[in-house]
Amino acid sequence: MIQFGLDRFLGSEAHPGARWALLANQASCTQSGVPAWEAIAERFPGRLAALLSPQHGLFTGEQANMIETGHVAEGPLGLPVHSLYSETRRPDPAWFEDVDRLLIDLQDVGCRVYTFAWTLLACLEAASDLHLPITVLDRPNPLGATVEGPSLDPGFESFVGGHDIPLRHGCTLGELARRFVRERQLSVDLEVVPADRDDADPERLFPHWRPPSPNLPTLEGVRVYPGQVLLEATNLSEGRGTTRPFEWLGAPFIDPQRWLAELGRRSLAGVRFVPFHATPTFDKWAGVGCPGLLLEVTDRARFQPIETTVALLESARSLWPDDFELLPPPYEYETEKAPLDILWGNPSLRERLQN
């Protein structure tokens, strides 16, 4: 059976006598489906002192973009749950007064914009100051090791990009942790418990995908996410409020047949576009019927999500210049720079679309 870092950790002796805090959410589970906090508490009774949660909360119920999660005095197992997506996104030293080591077990999705990497970085920086050891219980990157898209330019750092890595970065969180420690010269006692990796067949690694956030319920959505997340900076719906978030995009002014004809002039491998109407129940165009397109990945090896979404944006801008809009800030706690700039990592894509 494929093993996650958590499964290997549970089979070890794991720092005898140490007390732990655990950063996780409900996607953090063993291959048999047991939540990380329950599995650790059963295997190592009395050693789990506190829980920390990332964006979307411990039970992944909160939506995105500055919808915060509060702290919980008594969560699962009677433990406090400290939120790292609240009034602070950096750990409070008081949370670790009775803790010897921080365990981190989060399922990343292989994209710079996903905030779990930056919650990880905030924990590493805090640990460096506090001399607190960290163990990352690693999980596979569902997009494999392929790298695509721009890196992050200096001056465009934000909570959707805190370090210079490509948009589709090709790393696991454990690999990113090692890179952050090395390149930022952090003084952290870092341990990474590795997971099995199979870049060719993510379904073998994830026979039962558990959503790490509410709008990535399927591996199909994860595959398109590194590109489709750019739609958050536009007035095109990225499918929030529909049953196909990130797999579908649309708006009331879209003519799917015209869009298909325009996209047919471009060489986009591994994907087909299907005309599809949806009515979002919340977020952009809530309650409004929207024509649009459904993305169906036909060849995972050839499909390039970022190239595909850039083609969608350029063609939408060309076809509907009076209706297509780039949204202004704020976006993920950035109040000055354009949302597309911090998503892309520099202003080049926004300038291409505007010109």
212 part of a folded domain:
no
| Structure token pair of residue 38 | 């329950």
pLDDT digits (tens, 9 = 90+) for 279-326: 999 999 999 999 999 999 999 999 999 999 999 999 999 999 999 999
Higher local confidence (pLDDT), 95 or 204: 95
Cis omega before residue 330 (within 30°)?
yes
pTM: 0.96
211 part of a folded domain:
no
- Cα three-residue angle 99-50-161, rounded to 5 degrees: 90
Statement: residue 197 has pLDDT above 80 = no
pLDDT digits (tens, 9 = 90+) for 98-124: 999 999 999 999 999 999 999 999 999
Quick one: pLDDT at residue 1?
67
Which CATH number characterizes residue 256's domain? Answer: 3.90.1150.140
Q: Domain range for residue 300?
A: 219-354
Q: State whether 167 and 224 are in the same domain.
A: no
Q: State whether 164 and 24 are in the same domain.
A: yes
94 part of a folded domain:
yes
Q: State whether 167 and 126 are in the same domain.
A: yes
Strand partners, 29: 35
Read off the pLDDT band of 207 (50, 70, 90): confident
For residue 63, give Cα distances in angstroms to 9, 91, 113, 276, 278.
31, 21, 15, 24, 19
Quick one: pLDDT at residue 206?
82
pLDDT digits (tens, 9 = 90+) for 58-114: 999 899 888 899 999 999 999 999 999 999 999 999 999 999 999 999 999 999 999
**CA end-to-end span of the chain, whole Å?**
52
| Structure token pair of residue 59 | 């039970």
Give the pLDDT mean for 247-260.
Answer: 98
Give the pLDDT mean for 261-273.
Answer: 96
Last residue of a domain, one of 182, 205, 228: 205
SS3 266: coil
Last residue of a domain, one of 172, 205, 238: 205
Higher local confidence (pLDDT), 1 or 186: 186
Q: State whether 165 and 226 are in the same domain.
A: no
Q: State whether 49 and 175 are in the same domain.
A: yes
Q: State whether 12 and 39 are in the same domain.
A: yes
Q: DSSP secondary-structure letter at 13?
A: -
Q: State whether 192 and 275 are in the same domain.
A: no
Q: State whether 223 and 155 are in the same domain.
A: no
CA–CA separation, 211 and 215 (whole Å): 8
Read off the pLDDT band of 208 (50, 70, 90): confident
Share of the chain above pLDDT 70, in %: 98
Which CATH number characterizes residue 106's domain? Answer: 3.40.50.12170
Q: What value does the mean pLDDT of the chain take?
A: 95
Give the pLDDT mean for 29-49.
Answer: 96
Quick one: pLDDT at residue 258?
98
The total number of structural domains that make up the chain: 2
Cβ atoms of residues 199 and 171 within 8 Å = no
Statement: residue 50 has pLDDT above 90 = yes
214 part of a folded domain:
no
Q: State whether 230 and 260 are in the same domain.
A: yes
213 part of a folded domain:
no
CB under 8 Å to 5, separation ≥6 — which residues? 105, 136, 137, 138, 139, 174, 192, 193, 194, 195
Quick one: pLDDT at residue 66?
86
Q: State whether 66 and 200 are in the same domain.
A: yes
Statement: residue 200 has pLDDT above 70 = no
70 part of a folded domain:
yes
Q: State whether 166 and 235 are in the same domain.
A: no
Q: State whether 153 and 261 are in the same domain.
A: no
Quick one: pLDDT at residue 45?
97
210 part of a folded domain:
no
| Structure token pair of residue 277 | 């109407």
